[in-house]
Amino acid sequence: MLKKISVDDVKLGMHIEEMCGGWMDHPFWKSSFEVKDSKILHMLHRSAVREVWINTRKGIDVAPEVNTASEDIENLKVEETLLLASKTQSHTENHQISLHDEIDRARIIHAKAKKEVISMFQNARMGRMLNLENVESLVDEINQSMLRNDSALLSLLRIKNKDDYTYLHSISVCALMLSLGRKLGLEGASLNEAGMAGLLHDIGKSLIPENILNKPSHLSDCEFEVMKEHPQLGWNILSQSSEISEITLDVCLHHHERLDGSGYPKQLSGDTISLFSRMAAICDVYDAITADRCYKKAWEPAIAIRKMAEWKDGNYDVLIFHAFIKTIGIYPVGSLVTLNSGRLGIVIEQTPKSLLTPRITVFYSTRSSEYIHPEIVDLSKSQDGIFNIESTSDWPFSTDFLQRMLEINPHPD
């Protein structure tokens, strides 16, 4: 039986089933483990995670007087959050071109951005000054692609390996910050600042030893403290340039702060955390948990949104999180879903009518267990609906195949 409890109520002998927080908020790269000794308990209490799910069938239960929450109650809260977010008005509703029409340009930007960010990290590692002209030009190109279609580049950036994760993560957070900023009503210089801050937020990781950065098991207490130094290290790198804005410096230093003061490095809380750092906290966690890591399989985009909705209290600014949901959708592009009709497909586009009714390319029948001719279904105009969110790891579809299904033109001539 699963129960959600406060970290303060965790005792020796309990079995942690899931940590309620981003993977950089704690040193435990296993999602499920037994609290066997006081050292592990101490590390858990010192982390930024404030709640966990325990499995009482695998470990000891809580005392009767301890406050707990059940899966059913938490699921209801999550659905309420998502429905509320779907009704929240946003500042902009862009009329974008299809992912199919933007994907080739996005590939070019992806390759260029990866090369530029790798060079940027190498220069930072060697103590060289950043080429801000190149960085600003790259942010502008990413912004233009997101304006044309805010899913094309992100769909490519979801495919990361352990060797290029840090670089592509920086590009993803840049793109998400731009899209979220636009949804919040930012424009001009302020919007560009959001993108710049996203691209440079993790520059401090260039100085973290690789054996810690890519360690495939849980970090020791000492190693986790080293990892937590990357915001300050990044601030030190960026502050050497007089051309770096205060916004970029602030986001670099504070993107791991949390509203309840449980974050790092300064344990800021509430209104002491800037708008841009609150935005970055959401974009950073979303991209991290939707990417495969050496120690953790990615969550599907739609699952990640639901996990973050569960964690939102104390972690994220609710209004900004609602805007983020409107930015990428309740079923983000790339989500694998089963429809009520038994057809399985991939979300390719949001629709203006509702975040609950995206366009989907269906290509497989779960009832006959065979491929079907790909067809685009607009759920805003169909009696069909989403029955379940699927994990790509449970199906024999290659990444290349899913990408092809994603790129089918939803608006053929």
What are the mean pLDDT values of the chain's consecutive 10-residue runs (413 residues total)?
92 92 76 87 86 93 92 91 78 74 96 96 92 94 96 92 89 98 96 98 96 82 92 96 94 96 94 98 95 78 94 91 94 96 96 90 97 96 96 93 91 65
Would you give the end-to-end CA distance of the chain in angstroms? 53
Please give the domain boundaries of the chain with CATH numbers for all domains.
Answer: 2-69 (no CATH), 99-328 (1.10.3210.10), 336-406 (no CATH)
Give 3-state DSSP helix, strand, coil % of the chain, rounded to 5. 50, 10, 40
Q: What is the pTM of this model?
A: 0.91
3-state secondary structure of 382: coil
Six token digits for residue 165? 């994760």
Based on its alpha-carbon atoms, the radius of gyration of the chain, rounded to whole angstroms, reads 21
Distance between CA atoms of 378 and 359, rounded to whole angstroms? Answer: 4
Beta strand 343-349 with 15-19 is unpaired
Secondary structure E strands in 211-334? none
Rounded Cα distance between 183 and 327, Å, is 7
> What single-letter DSSP state applies at residue 271?
G
CA distance linking residue 29 with residue 92, whole number of Å: 38
Contact between 50 and 94 (Cβ < 8 Å): no
| Degrees to nearest 5, angle at CA 315 with 159 and 78 | 75
**At 133, which helix (H) or strand (E)?**
helix 132-148
The amino acid sitting at 121 is F
Q: What is the pLDDT of residue 88?
A: 63
Task: Give the pLDDT confidence score for residue 108 in this predicted structure.
Answer: 97
